[in-house]
Amino acid sequence: MALGDTDVTIDTSNVAESCRPVTEILSRIGDKWSILIVMALSAGPRRFSELKRNIDGISQRMLTLTLKGLERDGLVSRTVTPSIPPRVDYELSALGHSLREPVNALGRWAFANRPAILKARDVFDGLGARASL
């Protein structure tokens, strides 16, 4: 299968077995910090400090761990420029760029459906409070 091929058939007779090969990959690209890093790098290369400033709430440790994981999976490339102090830039690889469209689509879906989700939570929480009485 080549990069960009989307004709994937999943055997739905045993969903757990069919999904097992992608679970590890989805856990990497589906976590909050990975998605935010991919979105931040979509505009172009960024230094570590720029990413830290632009991703609200991420700790230095979590940014470091997430970038290493994305680099390990071939989604992000890291370039060190010898200087004092050394300059380190991160950017999406070709594989990482292929994530831009799905991540942006997921973001658009979240923004468009946020009011409905908040309403559903309110209804659910109201029912839960009454059910426990």
Question: Does a structural domain hold residue 84?
Answer: yes
More confident residue, 50 or 104: 50
Task: Determine, yes or no, domain membership for 130.
Answer: no
Is residue 129 in some structural domain? no
Domain holding 54, by residue range, is 12-98
Q: What DSSP string runs through 18-60?
A: HHHHHHHHHHHHTSHHHHHHHHHHTTS-EEHHHHHHHSTT--H
* Residue 88 β-bridge partners: 80
Percent helix / strand / coil, the chain, rounded to 5: 65, 10, 25
User: Mean pLDDT across the stretch 111-129?
Assistant: 89
For residue 89, tell me if it sits in a domain: yes
Residue for token pair 């309403």: 119
Please state the length of the chain.
133
Q: CA–CA separation, 121 vs 117, rounded Å?
A: 6
Q: Please tell me the total count of domains within the chain.
A: 1
Residue 59 belongs to some domain of the structure: yes
- The pLDDT score that the predictor gives to residue 130 is 58
Q: What pTM was computed for the model?
A: 0.74
pLDDT tens per residue across span 62-91: 999 999 999 999 999 999 999 998 889 999
Beta strands 87-92 and 76-81 are antiparallel
Q: How far is CA 125 from CA 49, 112, 116, 122, 130, in A?
A: 40, 22, 14, 5, 9
pLDDT tens sequence across 15-72? 677 777 778 788 777 788 999 999 999 999 999 999 999 999 999 999 999 999 999 9
Is the pLDDT reported for residue 2 higher than 80?
A: no
Report yes or no on 117 lying in a domain.
Answer: no
CA distance 3 to 131: 50
In a domain, 120, yes or no: no
For residue 116, being part of any structural domain is answered with no
Q: Residue 15 and residue 103: Cα distance in Å, rounded?
A: 24
What is the CATH number for 92?
A: 1.10.10.10
> Does residue 3 register a pLDDT over 70?
no
